[in-house]
């Protein structure tokens, strides 16, 4: 591993200033559970790491009128411990609980979880210059693609690894982005970018921009939500398919529903066709399966990952029906 310097900024503006103009040389670090792996494995070789954990008071979960605010440096574990999260947003609480191990959840932060890089084995192999690392080809397309994308692939078939992202998009989260001279707010659903729109990153952050805070509207009365994560192993693992579902129901009738999937596309994937089909319908195995199949018509599976189509259908049946039990 190449030596690198550590900078300890006092606030986000100072951190952003240090990072500005230092593309591929200076990287922000929060818990370091992903970034340090990338450095140790030779995927990136920074000259300096800007340690955001030196910034005081950016780890918090608090209510501000009709909004819940979450600091980007809040450890994932704090989402599990927070009664504000557990009582208002089961989908987020369950997503946090499903994530990694207790040790990683203690150190890994919410901001780092949203900004982490893909786990694709071609991307994570320092010997392979894949499309995402500036090469010509996505080797997953014709190679080993069991864990890769069935939606939105095109140039590169990574899947977004975050468990929190589908849950937060399902809850209609906003994010605050800060740079040396300005701060802006955007929908988390507009934060992530497909590889064809951004070859070198998974989101809209430019060098010198940092994620500062995530906000959530308070839930509507009688709203229900769930996060279901399907993984290959019963111990810690990334999702092969996950479903974040939030809805309002009159008995078994679906008044409103939002579905965001993880593990199947380079970005958290909203299933709007299924949502449209389901609105006004009665919850049953048949109605959910029909909605899933309708949405899955747009999927393009690769040689080894067609099993994800069945998993999406099964995940939706389980998740949506459990909200009306």
Q: Which residues bind ligand FAD (CB under 6 A)?
A: 27-35, 37, 52, 72, 76, 99-100, 104, 107-109, 111-113, 115-117, 161-163, 205, 210-211, 236, 238
Q: How far is the CB of 252 from ligand FAD (least distance, A)?
A: 32
Q: How far is the CB of 205 from ligand FAD (least distance, A)?
A: 6
Q: Which residue intervals of the chain are DSSP H helices?
A: 12-19, 35-40, 76-81, 83-88, 90-98, 102-107, 110-115, 164-170, 272-278, 285-296, 307-322
| Complex with ligand FAD: residue 28 or 153, whichever CB lies closer | 28
Q: How far is the CB of 114 from ligand FAD (least distance, A)?
A: 8
How is 268-302 classified by DSSP, letter by letter? -EE-HHHHHHHTTPBP-HHHHHHHHHHHHTT----
CA distance linking residue 77 with residue 97, whole number of Å: 8
**Residue 267, class by beta-carbon neighbours within 10 Å (0-12 exposed, 13-18 middle, 19+ buried)?**
buried
| Complex with ligand FAD: residue 50 or 319, whichever CB lies closer | 50
| Complex with ligand FAD: residue 90 or 166, whichever CB lies closer | 166
Q: How far is the CB of 107 from ligand FAD (least distance, A)?
A: 6
DSSP, collapsed to helix, strand or coil, labels residue 226 as strand
DSSP, collapsed to helix, strand or coil, labels residue 249 as strand
Q: How far is the CB of 161 from ligand FAD (least distance, A)?
A: 5
| Complex with ligand FAD: residue 112 or 247, whichever CB lies closer | 112
| Complex with ligand FAD: residue 205 or 274, whichever CB lies closer | 205
Q: Which residue is nearest to ligand FAD (CB)?
A: 112
């Amino acid at each position: 591993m190449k030596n690198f310097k550590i900078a300890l900024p006092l606030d986000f503006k100072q951190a952003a200033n240090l990072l500005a103009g230092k593309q591929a040389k200076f990287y922000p670090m929060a818990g370091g559970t992903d970034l340090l792996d990338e450095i140790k494995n030779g995927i990136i070789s920074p000259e300096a790491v800007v340690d955001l954990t030196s910034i005081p008071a950016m780890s918090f979960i608090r209510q501000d009128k009709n909004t819940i605010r979450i600091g980007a440096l809040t450890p994932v574990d704090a989402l599990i411990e927070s009664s504000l999260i557990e009582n208002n947003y089961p989908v987020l609480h369950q997503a946090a609980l499903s994530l990694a191990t207790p040790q990683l959840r203690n150190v890994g932060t919410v901001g780092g979880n949203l900004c982490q890089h893909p786990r694709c084995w071609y991307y994570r192999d320092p010997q392979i210059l894949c499309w995402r690392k500036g090469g010509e080809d996505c080797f997953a397309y014709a190679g080993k693609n069991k864990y890769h994308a069935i939606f939105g692939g095109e140039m590169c078939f990574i899947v977004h690894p975050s468990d929190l992202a589908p849950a937060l998009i399902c809850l209609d989260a906003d994010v605050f982005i800060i740079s040396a001279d300005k701060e802006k707010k955007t929908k988390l659903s507009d934060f992530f970018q497909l590889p064809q729109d951004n070859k070198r990153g998974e989101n809209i952050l430019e060098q010198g921009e940092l994620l500062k805070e995530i906000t959530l509207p308070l839930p509507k009365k009688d709203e229900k939500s769930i996060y279901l994560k399907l993984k290959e192993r019963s111990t810690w693992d990334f999702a092969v398919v996950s479903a974040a579902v939030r809805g309002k129901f009159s008995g078994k009738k679906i008044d409103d529903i939002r579905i965001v999937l993880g593990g199947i596309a380079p970005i958290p994937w909203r299933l709007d066709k299924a949502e449209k089909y389901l609105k006004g319908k009665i919850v049953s195995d048949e109605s959910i399966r029909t909605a899933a199949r309708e949405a899955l018509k747009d999927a393009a599976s690769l040689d080894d990952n067609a099993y994800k189509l069945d998993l999406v259908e099964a995940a939706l049946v389980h998740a949506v029906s459990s909200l009306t039990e």
